[in-house]
């Protein structure tokens, strides 16, 4: 690693450590709000235009070119969630460094991307070329809770992009080819509670609920990662909102998730559960319905990203499937192309969450080179930087891979 790369690596690690120290657990809205305000101030100080969403979980959109705030459109958008799953110990909010790895809550899922984007935009600002880039970053704080108040609210407010880069899938530099769609429902059995000493005075829903859940559980084998997976995730039973050991249940509710790579399988799974619900007099309450995500490899921006990734790493890019979900599904619903890939790392949400140190620099270079290739537009330069750009046009054109005019 040359001296220039060493300096950038040090900057990246310092910024990442500062971000990890922010205890942005999804449920801690106050901590997330404070972090969003801090990030908004830092990005604005670079010269980026910012807007903060005021949904239940705060989010931030920062654009290199201020005009994007009026059009609500950017060419390249980095979609980064800043929230994390609560760690077992507070010291997980501190980055620990070894010779080849960085450890800490959020280093790979996914504050590394926020640090890399900040440092790239910081360098563009230092070059006085920031406003010439049609790019932006969306930072949300509710991805771990579904993303409805973050990416969902952002898109509902009318924002769009030509490509969403979501560094939340495609682990170890393998680009995500497809991700499963998710349907989440609640199956409810209603009855009439009674005192546990006189259960005959009530009408417990337990028997028909249990039979229904058993029939669903036995029907879906869940032995094929590539196929439909149906899981009973939660079971709740309360009486007037208060758990009471002296009363039989007045209602019982199960949360069920269905995941598949194609919509037809999701529909087939839903039809079976509906038939069981009808058989045992159960009610279905929909909660989430998100379609599968498939990479649009024929899209020129997607194609350029894959090519840039191959060039920066010096290795052929591979592809993988994702069994889980990410905020990319919100963009896929709007038919917006997405690319998901992140560096080598592991133990997401675990005590030993880690990121390969040098991959932090590699990701920085990836987005730096990609933006130079596809998002630069000299018409967006300020007057002062435009004069300097004219003087050094040939050199800069060679750097960004453009033809000098």
pLDDT band at 404 (very low <50, low <70, confident <90, very high): very low
Q: For the residues of 184-244, what is the DSSP string, one character each?
A: EEEEEEE-B--BTT-GGGSB--HHHHHHHHHHHHHH-----TTS-EEEEEEEEEEBTTB--
Task: Label residue 134 left, alpha or beta by phi (over 0 means left) and psi (-120 to 50 means alpha).
Answer: beta
| Residue 400 clears pLDDT 80, i.e. is over it | no
Per-residue pLDDT tens for 295-317? 999 999 999 999 999 999 999 99
Position 388 scores a pLDDT of 55
Position 405 scores a pLDDT of 37
Q: Which residue has the tokens 């990246």?
A: 12
Position 188 scores a pLDDT of 97
Question: If you average pLDDT over residues 83-105, what whole number do you get?
Answer: 94
| Residue 127 clears pLDDT 80, i.e. is over it | yes
Position 403 scores a pLDDT of 46
Position 385 scores a pLDDT of 60
| Residue 241 clears pLDDT 70, i.e. is over it | no
- In order of 186, 230, 275, the CA distances from 227 in angstroms are 22, 10, 21
Q: pLDDT exceeding 90 applies to what percent of the chain?
A: 80
Radius of gyration of the chain (CA): 24
Per-residue pLDDT tens for 23-40? 999 999 999 999 999 999
| Residue 222 clears pLDDT 90, i.e. is over it | yes
The model's pTM is: 0.85
């Amino acid at each position: 690693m040359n001296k220039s790369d060493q300096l950038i690596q040090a900057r990246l690690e310092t910024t990442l450590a500062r971000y990890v120290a922010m205890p942005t657990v999804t449920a801690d809205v106050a901590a997330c709000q404070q972090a969003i305000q801090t990030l908004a101030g830092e990005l604005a100080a670079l010269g980026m235009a910012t807007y903060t969403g005021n949904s239940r979980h705060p989010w931030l959109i920062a654009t290199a070119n201020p005009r994007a705030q009026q059009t609500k459109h950017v060419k390249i958008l980095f979609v980064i969630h800043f929230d994390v799953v609560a760690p077992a110990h507070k010291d997980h909010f501190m980055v620990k460094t070894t010779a080849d790895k960085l450890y800490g809550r959020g280093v790979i899922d996914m504050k590394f991307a926020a640090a890399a984007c900040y440092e790239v935009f910081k360098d563009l600002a230092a070059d006085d070329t920031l406003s010439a880039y049609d790019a932006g970053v969306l930072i949300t704080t509710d991805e771990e809770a579904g993303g409805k108040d973050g990416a969902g609210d952002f898109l509902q407010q009318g924002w769009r992009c030509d490509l969403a880069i979501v560094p939340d899938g495609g682990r170890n530099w393998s680009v995500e080819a497809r991700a499963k769609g998710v349907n989440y429902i609640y199956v409810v059995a209603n009855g009439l509670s009674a005192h546990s000493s006189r259960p005959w005075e009530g009408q417990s829903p337990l028997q028909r609920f249990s039979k229904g859940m058993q029939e669903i559980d036995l029907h879906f084998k869940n032995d094929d990662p590539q196929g439909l997976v149906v899981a009973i995730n939660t079971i709740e039973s309360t009486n007037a909102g208060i758990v009471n050991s002296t009363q039989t249940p007045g209602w019982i509710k199960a949360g069920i998730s269905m995941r598949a790579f194609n919509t037809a399988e999701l529909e087939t799974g839903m039809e079976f559960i509906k038939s069981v619900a009808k058989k045992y007099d159960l009610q279905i309450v929909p909660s989430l319905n998100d379609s599968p995500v498939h990479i649009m490899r024929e899209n020129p921006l997607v194609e350029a990203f894959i090519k840039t990734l191959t060039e920066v790493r010096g290795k052929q890019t591979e592809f993988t499937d994702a069994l889980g979900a990410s905020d990319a599904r919100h963009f896929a619903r709007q038919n917006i192309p997405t690319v998901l890939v992140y560096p080598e790392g592991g133990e997401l949400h675990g005590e030993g969450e880690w990121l390969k140190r040098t991959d932090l620099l590699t990701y920085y270079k990836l987005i730096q080179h990609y933006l130079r290739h596809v998002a630069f537009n000299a018409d967006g330069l300020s007057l002062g930087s435009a004069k300097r750009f004219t003087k050094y046009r040939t050199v800069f054109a060679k750097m960004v891979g453009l033809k000098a005019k």
